[in-house]
Each structure stands twice: as C-alpha cells, then as structure tokens.
Amino acid sequence: CRERPSPNLRPFGMHLGGADETEGLEIKGLPKRKKRERSRGRKNKEADKEKKEKPGTEPTSSKDLAPETKDYEYLDHIADIKFHSWGKDRKSAFEQMVICMFSYMTELDKVDIDEEATIKIKVKGHDEESLLFALLDEFLFRFSVDECLVCRRCYVSKIDFENWTIEAMGFGEKFSLQKHPQGTEIKAITKHDMKIIEKDGAVHVYVVVDI
C-alpha cells in the first residue's frame, strides 16, 4: 500500500504559499509508448503456422504420393528401442515415424501396395505428444489386431492443432509370414522420453517403443 505523504513535505513545483513554480511554462507529455508484444516461442509460432495451413489434398491412390524417402533411424536405448524421424514439418515427420515403426517389424522392400487394403484413420489427443502417440498406437492396433495391415507408405491428410485431431492414410498390404520377413515385435508405444523438436529448419521426432 502507498504511504500518506508527510505534511511537512511540499509537492514538487509548489511554494509554501501555494504558488505554482511551473506557471507560464509549456509542459509537454512524453510520446505514447508502443505496446510491447509478448514474446512467443518458436514452437508456438510453428504450431500457429500449421494451425492455419489448409488440409492437404487426399490422394486417390499411392501413385499420388511423393517419392519414397527414408528419413528415420533407430537409436540404442537402455531396455527398449528409440525411433528417430525427421521432416520439414510435423506432418512429414509424423509420416516418417509411422513408416519407421513398420520398417522395424518387417522389411518394407518386400511389401507391395494393395490399393483396396488402404486404411483411413482419425485420432484425437490433447497436445502434440498425445496426438503423435494416438497416431502410432492406432496404426499398431490395425496391424496387430484388426486388418493386419503393414504400411509401406503413410500420408497425413490433416492435423488440427486447435481441436487436437489428426487424419491419416496407410498404404500397404496384409502381413503374411510366407511373404514378409518377421522383424521385432512391438508390444506398445510409450510416452517415455517422447520428444518433438525443431532444429535447423526441420522437425525431429523421438519415440521409445516397448519390444
């Protein structure tokens, strides 16, 4: 709280008799200061940019997709395995992470694309990490329980960072022991040490899976 001024102190510019020392002087106010904008992190700016992006045109077949790339790697982990994928934005980095997961379970060079087996998924989260987790978890579920589809290609058609939803398509074929080499089984996706990082103009994604 503010203290009451002492009665023995006089305000600046006033005589004891009450006359104003500034009488006759032109008093100019200071120029109005511009309102400072709150500093926003790069992550929030990028999220805002992607939030405003128009949804991609949904491909009618795998032939409409861009050429295949292998923008992922496998990193050592204490007990499990860590996946690392990257791309120019979250969309492409998420797509690569899905392919990284399937590539760990079988040799994708042996996987053909059956257009009739293409699946579409839509999942929901509450932040970036939970959205990525839901995406991978749904594809793993479709592989292990439902369609048994192993995806050679993935296309993220829409990411909504306001309502935290993501829509994607998976292109591949049903897994067959007679055709597809059996790699390492992935028991579950984990949220442990999951990271989405922007670095050097790219988005890097790290996911640890339980094997």
Starting at the edge strand found earlier in the chain, the sheet holding 149-160 runs: 119-124, 165-174, 149-160
pLDDT of residue 131: 97
Q: Give the Cα-Cα-Cα angle 114, 117, 120 (nearest 5 degrees).
A: 125
Fold of 82-210: Archease, Possible Chaperone; Chain: A; domain 1 (3.55.10)
In the chain the first and final C-alpha atoms are separated, in Å, by 62
Closest CA to 71 of 211, 209, 210, 202: 202
How many CA atoms within 13 Å lie on the side-chain side of 37? 3
pTM summary value: 0.72
pLDDT of residue 32: 54
CA distances from 204 to 10, 72, 94, 96, 198 (A): 65, 9, 9, 10, 6
Identify the segments of the chain with pLDDT beneath 70. Answer: 1-57, 60-61, 146
The residues spanned by each domain of the chain are 82-210
Q: Give the Cα-Cα-Cα angle 121, 124, 128 (nearest 5 degrees).
A: 115
